[in-house]
Amino acid sequence: MDTMLFMADVLVPALLQGLVITLELIVAAAPFGFALGVVLAVGRTYGGRLTSYLCRAFVAFIKGCPLLLLLFMLYFGLPSAGISFSPFVAAMIGFICCNAAYNSEYIRGALLSVKDGQMIAAQALGMTRLQSIWLIVLPQALRRAIPGITNEFIYLIKYSSLAYMLTIIELSGAGKIVATKYFTYNETFMMVGAIYLVLVTITTVSADMIEKKVAVPGTTGR
């Protein structure tokens, strides 16, 4: 089969179908991973002893467990305990947990970088502890955590390829199927790599724009 004809009729349509699944996984997992990461970071930094311990234990478990193993536990292991998920839901839960654990570390570091005096000043003005965290400390911390959160989003794009191990035909899985069927490994995986590169580049540029947009004048070195 002619190379151009193969790409137009077989490769590109298959990869586009896989790309849609990849984007669905990312769009479904990223917001929840970010939100849970914020909760974990705030709970670990400002929560009580029990809350801080539970948040720290969750993060330690997820960081110490390979993502592929976590996905296998969710999809293949939990049914033995009477809990079953579809492949998509199992992958999404695994990605959310992993994304949240690492996001929480970036955000926690940013929270610790905000001076304690700001919390004291906010409470002196009549704000509750929760209001002080939500309105004063957290907005500053999230600005500082943007580079780390961006890196974790990029990792999410990449490790979404592990969903193929749960029978989800996402971008990498679609490429593997085509390459195996037509023995076009170089062409196929170069195209897959190019698509991932485009996704990562779009993410990087968008994050840079957001960082500049929300930056407080005089607080950035650029």
pLDDT at 218: 55
Domain that holds residue 167: 3-214
Give one word for 126, left, alpha or beta, with left for phi > 0 and alpha for psi -120 to 50: left
**What pLDDT, in 10s, does the model give residues 38-54?**
999 999 999 899 999 99
Side chain identity, residue 218:
G
**Among the listed residues 83, 101, 80, 86, the one whose alpha carbon sits nearest the alpha carbon of residue 159:** 101
The more confidently predicted of residues 75 and 119 is: 75
Average pLDDT over residues 22-31: 95
Q: 3-class DSSP state for residue 47? A: coil
Task: Answer yes or no: is 219 within a domain.
Answer: no
Task: Answer yes or no: is 100 within a domain.
Answer: yes
- In this predicted structure, the answer to whether residue 1 has a pLDDT above a threshold of 80 is no
Please report how the helices 185-214 and 138-159 are oriented relative to each other, as an axis angle in degrees rounded to 10.
170
Task: Answer yes or no: is 105 within a domain.
Answer: yes
Query: pTM for this one?
Result: 0.91
Task: Answer yes or no: is 220 within a domain.
Answer: no
Query: How many domains in the chain?
Result: 1
68: domain CATH number is 1.10.3720.10
**What pLDDT, in 10s, does the model give residues 88-112?**
999 999 999 999 999 999 999 999 9
What are the tokens at 202? 């779009």
Quote the CA–CA distance of 96 and 101 in Å, as a whole number.
Answer: 8
